[in-house]
Chains A and B, each alone.
Chain A
Amino acid sequence: MADPVLRIQQPGLLATLQDYGRFGQMAQGITQGGPMDERAFLWANRLLGNSFNAAQIEVTLGQFKAQFCRDCLFAVTGAEFPLQLNGRPVKTWRVLQARAGETLTIGVNERGLRCYLAVAGGFAAKTVYGSVATVTRDGLGGLRQDGTPLLQGDELGARTPQQKTLESRRPSSKLNLTLPQQPLLSVVPTAQWQKFSRDAREQLVQQRYEVTPQQDRMGVRLKGEQGLSDIPQSMISEPLPLGSIQVPADGQPIVMMNDHQTLGGYPKIGVLTWTARSVLAQLPAGRKVQFRWLELDEAQRELRQVYRVFNIRR
């Protein structure tokens, strides 16, 4: 590589290159990938004046270390991990200036799972089916185009920034971007909702759920005190949208996340909204959440606003 911007010194548990996702290939069984906490990802690109689709590093569980190979502006968004730039503490959710040779250290944080490291212009990598999104299960994307996560010693280049940005730029403090103490996740009734009993639909929003350790980039299993009753039978496999809540026979919900399989046969009771999905992507095992029903119109309004604010074109 001619002129790298960043050298990975320590990737931590899992650090992957992600852009907005791989679209247009789901009919071939190729899933979308992309950032689990889409809100944090889009904010990082916006702060830096990048395109919504510019590639970033999704760092899972922190313990990440990388050296800047040249001067650049960068930002880290997502969960509030402690950050150090050459040993001095710096803040998440704002544009920072790095000098060549400086080292960024991302520590540990027990309240959220993921953060996003973005540089002005976005990281450069060869696309596979139009995207650099790393999907290990599909063997696609990333620096090597084969789904391998970032490794120690990897060097990443950056694209030339198209827009100017300012050091210290950050989202308005009026926007509530911190993780709520008691997350309330909005769900739109979809798919087989009508086939679930009234009791089951009530139960989903009445009881609290715990995030389980059975979670990864494919999906998150939740556990309620009681499984939902009268679950509709499994069905002939059908296409599965991002954020869908599948309910298998044990009555405990599974939320399909970015690397989900494209088809699935368990009945679905609803789909998480954009914000709810970004919040869930951050919650460690043991955290309690509650669901609430939301009308489709409201969820669409939210999505439209997101598309406009972040200038997303699919």
Chain B
Amino acid sequence: MKWQFQTAAPDALMIALEERIDLSVNRKVQRLTHELASHDAVLEVVPSYHTLLVYYDVLEYNEKQLRHLLEPIIKSLLDEPDEAETFAGQHHTIEVCYHSELAADLAAVAKQTQLSEQEVAQLHSGVTYHVYALGFAPGFAYLGDVLEPLRLPRHDTPRQKVPKGSVAIAEQQTAIYPRTSPGGWQLIGRALHWPELQAGDQVTFKPISLADFLAHEQLAQEQGQERSEDDAHG
């Protein structure tokens, strides 16, 4: 696999693999992240799709020395056969309500893709997704790959306020907005609960009805109230 070093900052070096959103490339990024994070010279590793950023100890090493140290590790890891079927992350199932009342773009997405809203839900929940990277905001996980018929661009102008728990798509990626924030992706559903995701994890979405979603929401609110009452008394 082709790769290169790039200077990223006075204290950080980028390792860039082949420039594509691809599961096998991303698996190598995650293996490298794991391997390099424990290296003596390394302070922190930040992975993305095909790149990883390595912060290092500039008091001990200059960039040339660091390249020299890391190169054999990277080479040997990239030379290993691709272990497509081995999977180190966790698998999560997340309930999603695909309903226009909770997802501002669902109707428009259905129209643009010439599918029914139900078909959009079926296609979106019909595959297992891989967590490529976390970024943009705390806990925002970039999942892929979205099936071809559902791939749509981002909005030209991002929304000021995307509700917390919104399930959204953009090109081959999908994500849950972990908190209310601005955002430009197409909103097709809403989740109530989701786990903390890590790069390398796998996710499937399970459709639930609007009635179920609202019932769960009410239950969560009641429990939340009980909790805060406990807190007040405690």
Chain A residues in contact with chain B, CB under 8 A? 23-30, 137-140, 188-191, 235-239, 241-244, 261-263, 271, 273-274, 296-297, 299-300, 302-304, 307-308, 314
Contact = CB atoms under 8 A, between A and B. Distances in A.
A24 B44 contact: yes
Contacts of B184: none
Interface string B197-211: 001000000000000
B108 to A, nearest CB: 24
A262 B135 contact: yes
Contact of B14 (A137, A138, A239, A261): A239
Given A24-B44, A26-B46, A236 B20 contact: yes
A300 B139 contact: no
18 contacts: A29-B136, A190-B6, A190-B8, A191-B8, A235-B19, A236-B20, A236-B50, A237-B49, A237-B142, A238-B16, A239-B46, A262-B46, A271-B8, A296-B63, A300-B62, A303-B11, A303-B58, A314-B55
B81 interface: no
8 closest Cβ pairs, A-B complex: A263-B135, A239-B53, A241-B9, A239-B46, A238-B51, A299-B10, A29-B134, A26-B46
Given A27-B45, A314-B43, A300 B138 contact: no
A182 B205 CA distance: 56
Interface in B7-34: 7-12, 14, 16, 19-21, 33
A244 B9 contact: yes
A243 B139 CA distance: 23
A304 B59 contact: yes
B9 A28 contact: no
A137 B178 CA distance: 12
A296 B11 CA distance: 10
Interface string B39-83: 000011111111111010111001100000000000000000000
A137 B43 CA distance: 25
B221 to A, nearest CB: 20
A313 to B, nearest CB: 9
Contacts of A244: 8-9
Contacts of A262: 46, 134-136
Contacts of B59: 304, 307-308
Contacts of A242: 9
A29 B135 contact: yes
A241 B53 contact: yes
A189 B46 contact: no
A261 B184 CA distance: 15
A23 B45 CA distance: 11
A236 to B, nearest CB: 5
Contacts of A243: 9
Contacts of B7: 188-191, 296
Given A138-B138, A261-B136, A300 B19 contact: no
B172 to A, nearest CB: 11
Contact of A27 (B8, B9, B16, B47): B47
Contacts of A241: 8-9, 12, 53
Nearest to B21: A236
From B10, B44, B52, B199, residue with most partner A Cβ within 10 Å:
B10
A239 B44 CA distance: 12
A273 B10 CA distance: 8
A40 to B, nearest CB: 19
Contacts of B136: 29, 261-263
Contacts of A30: 138
A191 B140 contact: no
Nearest to B173: A237
Given A188-B7, A238-B48, A314-B43, 14 more contacts: A27-B44, A27-B134, A29-B139, A188-B9, A189-B7, A191-B7, A237-B135, A238-B14, A239-B47, A239-B52, A241-B8, A263-B48, A263-B135, A296-B63
A303 B10 contact: yes
Nearest to A274: B10
B27 to A, nearest CB: 15
A207 to B, nearest CB: 24
Given A138-B137, A237-B48, A239-B46, A191 B6 contact: yes
Nearest to A314: B43
Nearest to A28: B134
B116 to A, nearest CB: 32
Given A238-B14, A273-B10, A307-B59, A28 B138 contact: yes
A279 to B, nearest CB: 16
Contact of A26 (B11, B16, B44, B139): B44
Contacts of B52: 239
Nearest to A263: B135
A261 B136 CA distance: 5
